[in-house]
Amino acid sequence: MGEITSKRQQQIIDAAIKVFSKKGYNGTTTKEIAKEAGVAEGTIFRYFRTKKDLLLSLVSPYVVRSLADTLEEFSGKDDETVFKAIIRNRLKIIRENLDLVRLLLAESQFHPELREQFVGKIVMQAASILESYISEKIKNGEFKDIEPGVAVRAFAGMTGIFVLWKEFLGGEKYIAFDEEKVIETVVDIYLNGVRKRPCGGSELE
Amino acid sequence: MGEITSKRQQQIIDAAIKVFSKKGYNGTTTKEIAKEAGVAEGTIFRYFRTKKDLLLSLVSPYVVRSLADTLEEFSGKDDETVFKAIIRNRLKIIRENLDLVRLLLAESQFHPELREQFVGKIVMQAASILESYISEKIKNGEFKDIEPGVAVRAFAGMTGIFVLWKEFLGGEKYIAFDEEKVIETVVDIYLNGVRKRPCGGSELE
DNA sequence: AATAAAAGTGAGTACTCACTCAATTTACTA
DNA sequence: TAGTAAATTGAGTGAGTACTCACTTTTATT
């Protein structure tokens, strides 16, 4: 649970993310992690008291920094540009940390401590960035008067399901989607749905 | 993998769903399943050759029937009614089978055979019902000319994320949503986003 | 009621795993 | 370079696990 300091610790953490995400926490042996990290099994226990400690250290502020990173400044840009940028940014970050995300989603089911850190530190923080943007628009009168929390999640859900489909369920074997087209469509649906009387604002015919 | 016939088999399957979903496949011992089912450990292996066999039998057509069940007939009803009914129906079914869904989502990551059955038999089938409805609307010219597969998933994502939030991530500790209001908002956003020039069709101000 | 077949049991078995620790290597200091 | 502390190693340990099988109980048949 402590901070990451040494190179060894980082090696072990990287290996753990990789193997845990492939085989699950309970399906992974400390021997495998050691092998993947290129250290002896005993070394793991010098840095992490137990296997579970190692799991929990994977959501340490350091490891997770990249997942919760802030978005660029958007002032002056139009909604469509902003929302497309948000999707692309989120997709990029998730893909760069695919193993970690996969792991956190799967193991959150079984480890309340992990779930709390995951939801509290990552999900909530990521949501709040978009939420403040949307709240602003609602106050301006540009967007309908809906609950910002609902609006954020609706958008996140529309986007997230395509990641789930492709990266988690292997859905491309069934239907594959062109990513740019999906982004275009999703943003169009969302903005037209969320704006007050858009009346012809849609780009799609 | 065979069909379910005896009462004992059903007992064991129900117990397995319950315990697997709480502790994960690898985190569950056959002893626990036996205890939960109220049978001796050996009895499990009379009906299922291995523990893995038991896992795979959980997506048998019989068990899964309820998850993939068809929706009522919608002809004549307006979109809003239809989409709200779909959400409510889906929510109900998922809640009735929460343990099974939780289990399938978590273990699909690690068992390709399970994932294939889950995606192929359940997800695809559920998607196709809605897809044909939306395709019709697109042909009619009521909805924009978007890819039906994208449209279905966008809707499913908007809905699904609230289930994920509440039932899987325990998100109510952070923000709780009024379900009816969410349904209203989601359907409103979606229909206005997906329809051709709705111009004032929105119910929300 | 007697017999056979089927269903159910749970202690035992062979094996695996998280974790330990005595021995060894590496890094550091004077 | 010798001496010491710190880091690393991996065989060993005990707790536990999936699965077996010799036995008991239940059910069906005559």
Classify each residue of B153-184 as buried b or exposed e, where b means 16 or more C-beta atoms within 10 Å of its C-beta: bbbbbbbbbbbbbbbbbebeeebebeeeebbb
- Report the candidate in A58, A80, A65, A79 with the shortest Cα–Cα distance to residue A2: A58
Token code pair at residue A141: 């009168």
Q: Which residue of B has its CA nearest to A191?
A: B193
A198 to B200: CB separation less than 8 angstroms, yes or no = no
pLDDT exceeds cutoff 80 at B4: no
Distance CA A185, CA B121 (A): 27
Token code pair at residue B62: 């019989």
Distance from CA of A63 to the nearest CA of B (A): 20
B119 to A144: CB separation less than 8 angstroms, yes or no = no
Of the candidate ranges A113-117, A156-160, B196-200, the one whose mean pLDDT is the lowest: B196-200
- The reply to whether the CB atom of residue A168 sits less than 7 A from any atom in nucleic acid chain C is no
Of the candidate ranges A52-66, B12-26, B64-78, B104-118, the one whose mean pLDDT is the lowest: B64-78
Interface membership of B45 toward A (CB under 8 Å) = no
Distance from CA(B132) to C1'(D6), angstroms, rounded: 68
Q: Which residue of B has its CA nearest to A143?
A: B205
Check: CB of residue B58 under 8 Å from CB of residue B118.
Answer: no
- List the single protein residue with the shortest CA to C1' distance from C20: A42
CATH match for B1-48 among 1.10.10.60, 2.40.10.220, 1.10.150.20, 3.40.50.300: 1.10.10.60
Interface test with B, best of A189, A191, A204 (most B CBs within 10 A): A189
B27 to A110: CB separation less than 8 angstroms, yes or no = yes
- Looking at residue A73, its pLDDT comes to 78
Kindly tell me the burial class for residue A35, based on how many C-beta atoms sit within 10 Å of its own C-beta (0-12, 13-18, 19 or more). Answer: middle
* Cα–Cα distances in angstroms (integers) from residue B4 to residues A138, B28, B43, B48, in the given order: 54, 22, 15, 11
Indicate the pLDDT class of residue B186, thresholds 50, 70 and 90.
very high
pLDDT exceeds cutoff 70 at B201: no
pLDDT exceeds cutoff 90 at A179: yes
- Looking at residue A126, its pLDDT comes to 87
Q: Which residues touch strand D (CB under 7 A)?
A: A 8, 39-43, 46; B 28-31, 41-42, 45, 49-52
pLDDT exceeds cutoff 70 at B3: no
What's chain A's average pLDDT? 91
Tokens 């990551």 belong to: B109
Distance CA A44, CA A51 (A): 8
Token code pair at residue B150: 């994208």
- Looking at residue A28, its pLDDT comes to 98
Q: Is B56 or B67 the better-scoring residue by pLDDT? A: B56
Check: CB of residue B78 under 8 Å from CB of residue B142.
Answer: no
Q: Distance of alpha carbon A144 from its chain centroid, rounded?
A: 27
- Looking at residue B1, its pLDDT comes to 42
- Looking at residue A26, its pLDDT comes to 97
- Looking at residue A75, its pLDDT comes to 80
* Residues near B199 by beta carbon (within 8 Å), at least 6 away in sequence: A197, A199, A200
- pLDDT, tens digit (0-9, with 9 covering 90-100), for B161-176: 999 999 999 999 999 9
Task: Give residues 19 to 38 of A whose Cβ lies within 8 Å of B.
Answer: 22-27
Q: Is A181 or A200 the better-scoring residue by pLDDT? A: A181
- pLDDT, tens digit (0-9, with 9 covering 90-100), for B67-121: 777 777 788 899 999 999 999 999 999 999 999 999 999 999 999 999 999 999 8
B24 to A23: CB separation less than 8 angstroms, yes or no = no
What's chain B's average pLDDT? 91
- Looking at residue A4, its pLDDT comes to 54
Percent share of chain A, pLDDT over 90: 80
* Cα–Cα distances in angstroms (integers) from residue B180 to residues A143, A144, B139, B177, B194, in the given order: 20, 17, 30, 9, 21
A:B CB pairs within 8 Å: 172
Distance from CA of A1 to the nearest CA of B (A): 21
- Report the candidate in A112, A110, A104 with the shortest Cα–Cα distance to residue A20: A104
Check: CB of residue B141 under 8 Å from CB of residue B196.
Answer: yes
* Cα–Cα distances in angstroms (integers) from residue A177 to residues A142, A174, B130, B157, in the given order: 31, 10, 18, 15
Q: Is B199 or A176 the better-scoring residue by pLDDT? A: A176
pLDDT exceeds cutoff 90 at A8: yes
Interface membership of A143 toward B (CB under 8 Å) = no
Q: How many CB atoms lie within 10 A of CB B65?
A: 9
B168 to A106: CB separation less than 8 angstroms, yes or no = no
- The reply to whether the CB atom of residue B39 sits less than 7 A from any atom in nucleic acid chain C is yes
Distance from CA(B1) to C1'(D28), angstroms, rounded: 29
DSSP A29: -
Distance CA B171, CA B167 (A): 8
- pLDDT, tens digit (0-9, with 9 covering 90-100), for A110-141: 999 999 999 998 899 889 989 999 999 999 99
- Phi, psi of B195, rounded to the nearest 5 degrees: -80, 155
CATH match for A51-192 among 1.10.357.10, 1.10.10.60, 1.10.3720.10, 2.40.240.10: 1.10.357.10
* Average of per-residue pLDDT across B23-52: 98
A108 to B169: CB separation less than 8 angstroms, yes or no = yes
Q: Distance of alpha carbon B154 from its chain centroid, rounded?
A: 15
Token code pair at residue A150: 């609902």
Query: What residue segments make up the domains of chain B, in order of their start?
Result: 1-48, 51-192
Of the candidate ranges B56-65, B162-171, B186-195, the one whose mean pLDDT is the lowest: B56-65
Task: For residue B200, give the nearest of A147, A158, A197 by CB distance.
Answer: A197
Q: Is A13 or B60 the better-scoring residue by pLDDT? A: A13
pLDDT exceeds cutoff 80 at A54: yes
Q: Is the pTM of this model over 0.95?
A: no
